[in-house]
Amino acid sequence: MLTKLQSHEMNDTILQFASFLHHKGRKQSTIKRYAYDLEDCFRYFLKCGKEITSPLWNSFTIKDFNEYFQYLVEEKGYNEKTLHRIVVVLNQFYKYLQSEKAEIENYIPNTAYKIAPSRSLSSDDFISEAEEDSLLITLQSFKNLSEKQLKARPFLKTRNEIMVKLMLNYGLSLREVIDLTMKDVHFATDQLTIHNKYGSKRTITLEKKDRILLYEYFQTIPEPVRPHYHSNHPLFVAFDFNRMTFHWVYEDDSPKALTEIAFQKMLRLEVERADLRKGICSQHLRNTFILRKVRENLPIEEILKVVGLKTAVTLKRYIQYAENLS
């Protein structure tokens, strides 16, 4: 059990770290995730009987962190992506500590788990043309749906299809799609304004058929719960299956935004209906778009601009994979 002094120090340290992240412009959801991961790590060490001294960060060694990461993989079953997130959180925590006190040593880069995984891309990271065709056909179909799903389908068919196409045909990330608001939609010019995680924005121009599809989705939302033009209302709205209509939050006087988890569940079900391999997710769609741009021999600067990436280093794996295909 934490002593009162240790509990106070842990909470105070996490609060200070959260404040540091806030001033760096991190989203509240990210800050909450970081705080939870950090607290989880501290509690693991206490549960293992690790003697916690003051200040807390002087208590841990490289061996401790290696054992913790091994525990996350072997006992909790964390995959590479989740483990990578934890390693990044702890690395950011130690960078924060060093910004306050330069002599503090950051052990995280010296653990057995690298901060930046360098795994090469394979065909499993993309969807093939056949898989793409099958998925898009299924998104438009009514096959293998339950009675309840069939009732909701007229509302959801165009919404789901245009979201997938924004990732597959324009390279948006899932977070970028979810974050779109009505202020970002310009039906008159067929354009969308995209805001990325780095705080910058870009404009994409929709093909006519996709602009029509987006507008059709917008029109499927009953007017009383429809997002308002030029507002901060979310573009993509959650659906209430109990009431068979889109979800409106009366406390906020706004539609309820579709969540990343809800989209991932939807895509997983559509992939299953299309009889495609398990595991296809939004990142596969974006990866496929990026690879196509690389294979079109667009200048690197242009690809970075189109997909909202910050540095050319990010494209290295895609370029290597494309070269191997040649």
d(CA 273, CA 139) in angstroms, rounded, equals: 9
**Domain spanning 4-110: CATH superfamily:** Tyrosine recombinase, N-terminal domain (1.10.150.130)
Residue 54: predicted pLDDT: 61
pLDDT at residue 296 is higher than 90: yes
Angstrom distance (rounded) from CA 154 to CA 149: 9
Q: Cβ contacts of residue 76 below 8 Å, gap of 6+? A: none
Rounded-to-integer distance, Cα 166 and Cα 139, Å: 14
pLDDT in tens, 41-85: 888 887 877 666 666 667 788 888 888 888 887 777 777 778 888
Residue 117 scores a pLDDT above 60: no
pLDDT surpassing 50 at residue 1 = no
| Residues 161-177, mean pLDDT to the nearest whole number | 96
Count of residues in the chain: 326
Residue 92: enclosing H or E segment and its boundaries?
A: helix 80-100
Is pLDDT larger for residue 80 or for residue 86? 86
Q: What is the pTM of this model?
A: 0.67
> What is the chain's mean pLDDT, rounded?
88
pLDDT over 90 (residue 118): no
pLDDT tier for residue 115 given thresholds of 50, 70 and 90: low
Per-domain boundaries in the chain: 4-110, 124-325
* Alpha carbons 308 and 194: distance in angstroms, whole number: 9
Closest residue by Cα to residue 13 from 70, 95, 114, 97? 97
Please compute the mean of the pLDDT values over residues 210-215 and round it to a whole number. Answer: 97
At 200 the pLDDT is: 83
**Residue 300 vs residue 102, higher pLDDT:** 300
Alpha carbon distance 209, 63 (integer Å) = 57
**What is the Cα 184 distance to its own chain's centre?**
19
pLDDT at position 300 is 92
- Is the pLDDT at 29 greater than 70? The verdict is yes
The full DSSP string for 195-217 is: E-TTS-EEEEE--HHHHHHHHHH
The b-or-e profile of 36-56 (16+ CB within 10 A means b, else e) is ebbeebbebbeeeebebeeeb
pLDDT of residue 110: 84
> What does the alpha-carbon distance between residue 318 and residue 324 come to, in Å, rounded to a whole number?
10
Please give the average per-residue pLDDT across 246-272, as a whole number: 93
72 C-beta neighbours (distance < 10 Å), count: 20
Average pLDDT over residues 195-222: 92
* Structure confidence by residue, pLDDT tens digits, 215-231: 999 999 999 999 999 99
- Kindly state the average pLDDT of the residues 208-218: 96
Report the pLDDT averaged over residues 185-194. Answer: 95
Q: How much helix, strand and coil, in percent to the nearest 5, is found in the chain?
A: 60, 5, 35
Given a cut of 50, whether residue 3 has pLDDT beyond it is: no
Topology given in CATH for the domain delimited by 124-325? hpI Integrase; Chain A (1.10.443)
* 6: pLDDT strictly greater than 60: no
**Which range scores top for mean pLDDT: 15-24, 43-52, 258-267?**
258-267
In the chain, what percentage of residues exceed pLDDT 90? Answer: 53
pLDDT at res. 7: 59
The CA distance from 49 to 1, in Å, is: 9
Q: Does an H or E element contain 192, and which?
A: strand 191-195
Is residue 2 very low, low, confident or very high in pLDDT (cuts 50, 70, 90)?
Answer: very low
| Separation in Å, CA 79 to CA 73, 76, 84, 156, 198 | 7, 9, 9, 31, 25
